[in-house]
Amino acid sequence: MNEKIIHELQRKQLEETTRRHFLRECIAGMGGLALASVFGSCNPFEKQDKYAALFSSNPLAPKAPQFIPKAKSVIYLHMAGAPSQLELFDYKPALHKLDGQDCPQSLLEGKKFAFIRGVPKMLGPQASFKQYGQSGAWVSENLPHFSSIVDEVTFLKAMQTDQFNHGPAQLLMHTGSARLGRPSMGSWVTYGLGSENQNLPGFVVLTSGGTNPDAGKSVWGSGFLPSVYQGVQCRSEGDPVLFIKDPEHVTRDLRKASIDAINEVNKIHYEEKGDPEILSRIAQYEMAYRMQISVPEVMNINDEPKYIHEMYGTKPGEVSLANNILLARKLVEKGVRFVQIFDWGWDSHGTDSNLAIDVGFVNKCRTVDKAMTALVLDLKQRGLLDETLVVWGGEFGRTPMAENREGKKNPFKGRDHHTEAFTIWMAGGGMKKGFTYGETDEIGYSAINGKTTPFDLQATILHQLGFDHEKLTYEFQGRPFRLTDVHGKVIHEILG
């Protein structure tokens, strides 16, 4: 496996050098690319020659990471709203016994919750658990398919965050800051690595559940990085990528003829003006034309074989999490670097039946269980699991107490937002298999061992892609910024 990646890396570096040489000889002969105002400053590696960056006309050209990576791409499945770890992975029999009792003051003193007021009741696990696989991982009945692949998975059971509202917590998870304005993880990754496939965006976002994430498009925004690195939302409804479809009366041939005409005139204009930026525009128009073919192709799941549809539980034509998960596999297969999936509807407060931990939540689990299991198995059977890092989780966890909004009992069983313990799992991309890291106390309230934070997760993801998270930086406002700000350490314990 490693050999394959090293080989690939060498090839890429060679290509890169050749291309630069070519550009220097040919285009620099005509006069060098005046792009440094844009790209000269976005030099991800301290030691890379600024002059060389000047000649890199395409900011998405594949770049070599800082060291040999374990993973080439990432699929990040974010269950927006934050799924309950206590009904999925973090089995707490002791919590059963406390069910219905007043929460002890010691758990409430000095703590702040989004909705819990006064003294809430404890809420026992609302699902039964069993151990699975060689690793003996506990999984609840809510995930019958997933329980079969626990030996492929690493669990982080002691994740902690410091944000208990959705928007800020999602931002922290994906941009390293609870405030707006920072680039998202996928943007950092495409900034550092470029894109493998020039006919597809390097960073793709897929959403389901009917609503965008709480933090809006900023969770895939490019912040202060050039906007070319922002996530491109691919959609199952309407155009798969905005504006990718030709207008009604324009056939493919006519579009080709149009782009030929545009580029022909642009070439003449280049002869008149001598500005190399015009050459860059010509290249972008050619790429746009190719994207118009390749994006609808990759976004079409109709032609997937029947067994794949059965495996994922996908139905072509629907907007569903399962469809998006299948699309994610197709995208990484085609060289997309970072696929971020957001699924809305995991906020199980118990304020109505859709948000009840024993009703709506169970249904949500059904929509993801089969597909996420299929994703891991499918990547594996294609030999892609080793080089694809799959991450699954929410923005925080849920309380072992039942929510009592405004100090009164909620109409359904539900749990409030919880920052002190939640579970995330990862598979592939060089993670240990069948491994659990971190532990919570006997009721799942606090992380006690192997605590990890969103920054640690980010550092680890970047590490698997071949980056020291402290060195993937961007100069902005007079200082180098990085995804993990001043925090984060790679969770070496979980690396295979």
Q: For residue 110, what are its two tokens? A: 């000095």
Nearer to other proteins, 1 or 250 (CB): 250
What's phi and psi for 144, nearest 5 deg?
A: -65, -30
Q: Are 103 and 121 in contact (CB under 8 A)?
A: yes
Nearer to other proteins, 208 or 388 (CB): 208
Other C-beta atoms lying within 10 Å of the C-beta of residue 37: 8
Q: Does 45 engage in binding with other proteins (CB under 8 A)?
A: no
Sign of CA dihedral 46, 47, 50, 52: negative
Nearest alpha-carbon partner for 197 in 236, 232, 235, 238: 232
Q: Are 74 and 328 in contact (CB under 8 A)?
A: no
User: Which residues have a Cβ under 8 Å from the Cβ of 315 and sit 6 or more positions away?
Assistant: 309, 322, 323
Segment 207 to 226, residues that bind other proteins, using CB under 8 A: 207, 210-218, 221, 224, 226
CA distance 4 to 250: 43
Segment 76 to 115, residues that bind other proteins, using CB under 8 A: 112-115
Q: Which of these segments, 18-26, 358-366, 369-377, 475-483, binds other proteins (CB under 8 A)?
A: 475-483
Nearer to other proteins, 227 or 302 (CB): 227
CA distance 50 to 17: 15
Least distance CB 11 / other proteins (angstroms): 24
Nearer to other proteins, 238 or 305 (CB): 238
Q: For residue 182, what are its two tokens? A: 């920072």
Nearer to other proteins, 269 or 471 (CB): 269
Q: Which of these segments, 178-186, 302-310, 377-385, 447-455, binds other proteins (CB under 8 A)?
A: 178-186
Provide the mask over 59-78, with x wherever binding to other proteins is found by CB under 8 A and - wherever it is not: x-------------------
Segment 221 to 250, residues that bind other proteins, using CB under 8 A: 221, 224, 226-228, 230, 232, 235, 237-239, 241-247, 249-250
Q: Does 24 engage in binding with other proteins (CB under 8 A)?
A: no
User: Which residues have a Cβ under 8 Å from the Cβ of 244 and sit 6 or more positions away?
Assistant: 291, 292, 295, 296
Nearer to other proteins, 10 or 211 (CB): 211
Q: Which residues of 111-129 are buried (b: 16+ CB within 10 A; e: fewer)?
A: eebbbbeeebebbbbbbeb
Q: Which of these segments, 11-19, 90-98, 356-364, 472-480, binds other proteins (CB under 8 A)?
A: 472-480
Least distance CB 282 / other proteins (angstroms): 8
Segment 326 to 345, residues that bind other proteins, using CB under 8 A: 344
CA distance 244 to 470: 37
User: Which residues have a Cβ under 8 Å from the Cβ of 11 and sit 6 or more positions away?
Assistant: none
Segment 277 to 306, residues that bind other proteins, using CB under 8 A: 277-278, 280-282, 284-285, 287-288, 291-292
Q: For residue 496, what are its two tokens? A: 């295979």
Segment 406 to 445, residues that bind other proteins, using CB under 8 A: 406-409, 417
Nearer to other proteins, 306 or 479 (CB): 479
Segment 351 to 410, residues that bind other proteins, using CB under 8 A: 406-409
Q: For residue 75, what are its two tokens? A: 């699929």
Within 213-275, where are the H helices? 252-273
Segment 147 to 166, residues that bind other proteins, using CB under 8 A: 164-166
Q: Does 487 engage in binding with other proteins (CB under 8 A)?
A: no
Q: Does 1 engage in binding with other proteins (CB under 8 A)?
A: no
**How many residues touch other proteins (CB under 8 A)?**
93
CA distance 69 to 4: 11
Least distance CB 399 / other proteins (angstroms): 12
Alpha carbon separation from 429 to 63, 111, 348, 411, 464 (Å, rounded): 19, 37, 31, 43, 7
Nearer to other proteins, 54 or 332 (CB): 54
Provide the mask over 247-276, with x wherever binding to other proteins is found by CB under 8 A and - wherever it is not: x-xxx-xxx-xx-xxx-xxx-xxx-xxxxx
Nearer to other proteins, 57 or 154 (CB): 57
Least distance CB 384 / other proteins (angstroms): 26
Nearer to other proteins, 120 or 430 (CB): 120
* Diameter over CA atoms, the chain: 81
Least distance CB 111 / other proteins (angstroms): 13
Least distance CB 156 / other proteins (angstroms): 25
Q: Are 23 and 35 in contact (CB under 8 A)?
A: no
Nearer to other proteins, 32 or 434 (CB): 32
